[in-house]
Structure 1
Amino acid sequence: MLSYCTNIHPAESWAETMEALRLHVPRIARELSAPLRNQPLGIGLRLSARATRELLESPEDLDSLKIWLNDNHARVETLNGFPYGSFHGERVKERVFQPDWTTPERFEYTCNLFRILALIGDERADTLTVSTLPASHSWFHADEERIFARLEAMSGFLDALSRQTGRLMQLGLEPEPFGHFHDTFGAIRFFDNLRNRSRRPELIERHIGLTYDTCHFAILREEPDFTLSAWEENNIALCKVQLSNALEFHMNGLESLDLLQEFDDGVYFHQTSIRHGNHTMLFPDMPNALAYARDYAEETRNSVWRIHYHIPLYASPEPPLKDTRSFIAKTLDYLHSHPSLRPHLEVETYTWSVLPDHMKIPLASQIAREMNYIAALQHS
């Protein structure tokens, strides 16, 4: 089942989250194409730590949510547990990685997400998943032993919950540029070390895996078949695939850099890779890449940039701007040719509020159009 991630909605309390669902889900459903309209609407629910606590403290709200989902022909198979706190309307950047997996706060928050998912998750789903950050951010120099201890405890918690519910519960760590680990082999090294330090590595392999974001790996320029096959060969579970579209830019001179200014919103990290010939440089944020290009204009002339900026999946900006939709198509092709892989699929374009005005359409229409786009790719 294809889901849309509700981190696109600026909601931190449970009341705000539920109001966003009531407002947008019926509108989205009306605009879905026939293949999707004839099946339940998948919701990849994003709950902040505050909303999670409020929902668990109110059994009446949990019951109301279950009834509302059923009445609206909607289902939840996966939750987004990456952003712990505020995710819209203010500077997010490195704060989205806090608290990280060295802390009890991150552990308890994630346990609470799974407790909720066990209660509201689609009863027909064999597997329920939560996505989370790639342990920490590289800038934090996190204590990896503490991370491993938290994840080991999480695997035990999920094993008990899986036996209690009769459904497999999996946590998917999501590599992101400049995360604690961020690329194909960085993820493999992390999981090898995690299993080697675990007293029960079989629980790690069963309950702890990876979330693959197509935007992130397009920026890293690591092809889907390379990454996904390497993870499978190393027995790392693929829990979720987030379908997102990076912004590409073909630099043809200093004046063309002005086109990127409208995407520098100051809210989110926009990690950027610049390829010139066979050489690729990775920058922690777009302002760093812009400063470098201005200092080294000749060295970066005719370079190709990829920027962590989730533009709508169907968007096709005018040159010298482009997109990475082909990366999404190649990911879906790989999954189609490897039916043993059955990750949850989730559309995740959370940047609607900071998109340039000329790229905006009504929010429900954007979400429906993105889901229709993926459905068409799957059936092509």
Structure 2
Amino acid sequence: MHLSYCTNVHAAEDLDGIIEQLDTYALPIRRRLDTDVLGLGLWLAAPAAAGLAESEEDRRRLRRELDARGLEVVTLNGFPYEAFQAPVVKLGVYYPDWTSRERLDYTLRLARILTDLMPDGATYGSVSSLPIAWRTPWDGSRATAAYGHLDELARGLARIEAETGRTVKVGFEPEPGCLIENTTQAAALLSGVDTNRLGVCLDLAHLACAWEEPVAALDRLKQAGVPVVKVQVSAALEADDPVAAADVLHAYVEPRFLHQTRSAGGEATDDLDAALAQKLPGPWRIHYHVPLHAEPAAPLASTVPVLREALRALRANSDCEHYDVETYTWGVLPEEQRPKDAAGLADGIAAELAFARDELSAAVTR
């Protein structure tokens, strides 16, 4: 099992900036955790990925820099294409989608790069990606284009394995508002792909926002023959009584990311401000990744109980090896919860990783 933290929380998008962030964040985090090796779920923006895919020397350089700091990479986050920490992202994160050759080319570049970054003992590498597309617009021609690209993706991954001897799998990440929002849709829409190489990246905050029961969700995927190739260990924001929590919830409204909001009764909006304006009936779960180890401001809660149940089910019934802590929202948290500097962010990520490590260990023994 490999535990890592996802570097899409950092803004660097070129090779020099990525190497600099290793010293600013990753190395201090490893030292805080007092561990010989720290896992990174590396995010490479499309321009950096293109450069690395073209340059064997740059790939060797990045591997040397990782090794020198005791850092390990078995998984890449290939969901955001670029500019993920821009002032405004919102719907832009879903483009280019899988109807576009740009998305296919980017993902295959990531897979090729990963074969040179993976440690020798890794069973496989993984790349997470968006769940095909945002739900609209969608029609037959877009579906034909998307599934044609998925077929090309599987063939491309097979070629990479033949050339390098390394296996890389791609996991599509169900997310509220997308074509694949939940495991029911994942089972239906991915059961016909090459499931030796393609599967699901199960984000535990998204699982909670879909109000899915973890055991049933995993069984649904298993029955459909769709493997979990990667897990994003994350927690969403929860409001049992949104009316009573309205003032606190307003502090989480921000311009960078979408915060899709879902009620237990099935009512939905694509952002938190719309849910507040429409006064959706509660309780709510909100697509807002909150720090795993720290409770949000009262009277809000997090979906850590769902996370715990999911980890127990995964450790008992799945052979997934990749667990990536993905809290990318540190910079947009309410001001009093936001890290004040790089050292504060490193402290927060280290605390999350320690929490996740303990929960994964407990999941084996429960």
- In 2: Cα distance, 1:183 partner to 1:252 partner: 23
1:281 to 2:267 alignment: yes
1:262 to 2:251 alignment: yes
Where in structure 2 are the equivalents of 1:149-298 lying within 5 Å?
149-192=148-191, 194-195=192-193, 204-251=194-241, 253=243, 256-275=245-264, 279-293=265-279
TM-fit CA distance, 1:159: 1.1
Where in structure 2 are the equivalents of 1:83-122 lying within 5 Å?
83-122=80-119
- In 1: Cα distance, 2:250 partner to 2:266 partner: 22
- In 2: Cα distance, 1:172 partner to 1:131 partner: 5
Q: TM-score, normalised by structure 1?
A: 0.90
Q: Render the CA deviation track for 1:34-61: whole Å, top value 9, x for unaligned.
A: xxx14x2111100010111222344333
Residues 153, 19 of structure 1: CA spacing in aligned structure 2 closer, same or farther, 3 A cutoff?
A: same
1:321 to 2:320 alignment: no
In the alignment, what sits opposite 2:334?
A: 356
Q: Render the CA deviation track for 1:190-239: whole Å, top value 9, x for unaligned.
A: 023x44xxxxxxxx010111100000010111011111111012111211
TM-fit CA distance, 1:274: 1.9
TM-fit CA distance, 1:189: 1.2
8 Å Cα contact 1:134-1:176 kept in structure 2: yes
Identity among equivalent pairs (%): 35
TM-fit CA distance, 1:14: 2.2
- In 2: Cα distance, 1:29 partner to 1:252 partner: 38
Q: Render the CA deviation track for 1:13-39: whole Å, top value 9, x for unaligned.
A: 222222112211110011115xxx14x
- In 2: Cα distance, 1:329 partner to 1:213 partner: 13
In the alignment, what sits opposite 1:201?
A: none
| Partner SS, residue 312 of structure 2 | helix
- In 2: Cα distance, 1:178 partner to 1:284 partner: 7
In the alignment, what sits opposite 1:199?
A: none
1:128 to 2:125 alignment: yes
One-letter identity of the residue aligned with 2:86: G
TM-fit CA distance, 1:283: 1.5
Q: Render the CA deviation track for 1:291-326: whole Å, top value 9, x for unaligned.
A: 110xx7xxx3xx211111111001212432111111
One-letter identity of the residue aligned with 2:263: I
8 Å Cα contact 1:14-1:50 kept in structure 2: no
1:70 to 2:43 alignment: no
1:337 to 2:312 alignment: no
In the alignment, what sits opposite 1:307?
A: 286
8 Å Cα contact 1:137-1:180 kept in structure 2: yes
Q: Render the CA deviation track for 1:107-145: whole Å, top value 9, x for unaligned.
A: 111111111111111221011110000011002325111
- In 2: Cα distance, 1:358 partner to 1:370 partner: 18
8 Å Cα contact 2:188-2:224 kept in structure 1: no
- In 2: Cα distance, 1:269 partner to 1:125 partner: 34
8 Å Cα contact 2:5-2:324 kept in structure 1: yes
TM-fit CA distance, 1:164: 2.5
1:346 to 2:324 alignment: yes
In the alignment, what sits opposite 2:33?
A: 32
| Partner SS, residue 174 of structure 2 | coil
TM-fit CA distance, 1:252: 6.0
CA RMSD of aligned residues (A): 1.6
8 Å Cα contact 1:238-1:343 kept in structure 2: no
- In 2: Cα distance, 1:223 partner to 1:183 partner: 11
- In 2: Cα distance, 1:55 partner to 1:167 partner: 17
8 Å Cα contact 2:242-2:284 kept in structure 1: no
In the alignment, what sits opposite 1:198?
A: none
| Partner SS, residue 309 of structure 2 | helix
| Partner SS, residue 140 of structure 1 | coil
In the alignment, what sits opposite 1:367?
A: 349
- In 1: Cα distance, 2:313 partner to 2:50 partner: 38
TM-fit CA distance, 1:101: 0.6
Q: TM-score, normalised by structure 2?
A: 0.93
| Partner SS, residue 31 of structure 1 | helix
- In 2: Cα distance, 1:261 partner to 1:89 partner: 21
Aligned residues: 355
In the alignment, what sits opposite 1:5?
A: 6
- In 1: Cα distance, 2:59 partner to 2:146 partner: 31
- Structure 1, unaligned runs of 5 or more: 196-203
- In 1: Cα distance, 2:109 partner to 2:297 partner: 44
- Structure 2, unaligned runs of 5 or more: none
8 Å Cα contact 2:75-2:114 kept in structure 1: yes
One-letter identity of the residue aligned with 1:281: E
One-letter identity of the residue aligned with 1:184: T
Which stretch shifts more, 132-141 or 243-252?
A: 243-252
Which stretch shifts more, 326-335 or 50-59?
A: 50-59
Residues 348, 252 of structure 1: CA spacing in aligned structure 2 closer, same or farther, 3 A cutoff?
A: closer
